[in-house]
Amino acid sequence: MTIDSATEQMIIRRDGAAGFLTLNRPKALHALTQPMDHAMTEALLAWKDDPAVEAVIIDHSEGRGFCAGGDIAFLRNSALNDGGVSGRRFFYEEYQLNHLLMTYPKPVIAFMDGITMGGGVGISQPAKFRVATENTRFAMPETGIGLFPDVGGGWHLSRLQGRLGQFLALTGARLDGAECLWAGLATHYLPHEALAEAKERIVHGHEPGGVLSALSVHSPEARIEGNAAAIRKHFASDSYEDILDSLETDSSEWAAKELATLSTKSPQTCKVALRQLAESARLTDFADNMRMEYRIASRVLTRPDFAEGVRAVIIDKTNDPKWDPVTPEEVSDELIDSIFAPLPADEEWKPL
């Protein structure tokens, strides 16, 4: 085994036929920082043409998180103190990592054995093999803090069946491992206790897909399947007001719960997310998707809802964000257009 680099935040190593990208911030549920993004990008580029590395494994060290997202405190500090300059750089480089993973010529295996949110979705969904376990908890909860499901979320969520992506983007609902497998967000379901053996076989040069299929077990029932028809019906429109109106007409406990959930989200970024997924679904190149998401991120980062949402939900934990605009009706088409508008040519996002 060769340890390429080991820091407090990442363990980069090669073992047999595999390169390992091991997230190592357990106290922060392995949330991504700029140094982590840089370390992963550098390793992937170094391994790209290295014949000794046949596959790349993304996993985490101890703790209940695979990766709980990005460095939200850093982004908020940027929004408040440097006009979003350092935050935009963070997004720019993170999106390059997402794109590198999406286009990587060797099989990437992401072990989503724990909380997988935001940035964690961004580094796992591009992987050819995405392994869920009984510990998986998947979500894109960004609308609750005035952000949107970025890191390629528009691409991945818009390609789910039955408007499930729109439901996940707006509500931030959490899926367990069985639900991820059912939805197509995971390719395999393994018990946690089988992961070490799976990695060992890949290290010894066995084909990852065959290894994962051999060790897969029958997953429990996907609970969200029971709500699939209601999701397809009520989240059918790309108009946020239509979705709210549809839920209002349903007297079920489920509809009331989802309405209550949506009432806590940023109206601005809910509308952003719906348009993002609608536009992502029409794209054929992941780079075009990331270019669009970088435009959105550049604007949303310094809009009032982001700093306020992080304050209310993450810092003060009062869960009382004062959104601006307050209601969906006040979020104008002109505002949404301005968030999606092209950037100056020298500021547009580009892949590595």
When the pLDDT of each residue in the chain is averaged and rounded to a whole number, the result is: 96
CA torsion sign for 197, 201, 203, 209 is negative
Domain at 108, CATH number: 3.90.226.10
pLDDT category of residue 8 using cuts at 50, 70 and 90: confident
C-alpha distances (whole Å) from 147 to each of 8, 75, 276, 344 are: 28, 11, 12, 22
Residue 140 contacts residue 171 (beta carbons within 8 Å)? no
CA torsion sign for 181, 182, 184, 187 is positive
Is 125 among the domain residues? yes
Integer Cα distance of 329 and 331 in angstroms: 6
Is 352 among the domain residues? no
Integer Cα distance of 337 and 167 in angstroms: 22
pLDDT category of residue 298 using cuts at 50, 70 and 90: very high
pLDDT of residue 2: 54
3-state class of 43 per DSSP? helix
Is 179 among the domain residues? yes
pLDDT of residue 1: 54
Element containing residue 248 per DSSP (H, E): helix 240-248
Domain that holds residue 311: 2-347
pLDDT of residue 4: 58
Alpha carbon 266 to its chain's center? 18
Tell me the pairing of strands 108-112 and 55-60: parallel
Is 112 among the domain residues? yes
Number of domains in the chain: 1
Give pTM, 2 decimals: 0.96
pLDDT of residue 262: 98
Q: Tell me what the mean pLDDT of segment 289-314 comes to.
A: 97
pLDDT category of residue 128 using cuts at 50, 70 and 90: very high
Is 46 among the domain residues? yes
pLDDT tens digit sequence for 91-115:
999 999 999 999 999 999 999 999 9
Is 32 among the domain residues? yes
pLDDT tens digit sequence for 206-255:
999 999 999 999 999 999 999 999 999 999 999 999 999 999 999 999 99
Catalytic sites, residue numbers: 70, 119, 142, 150
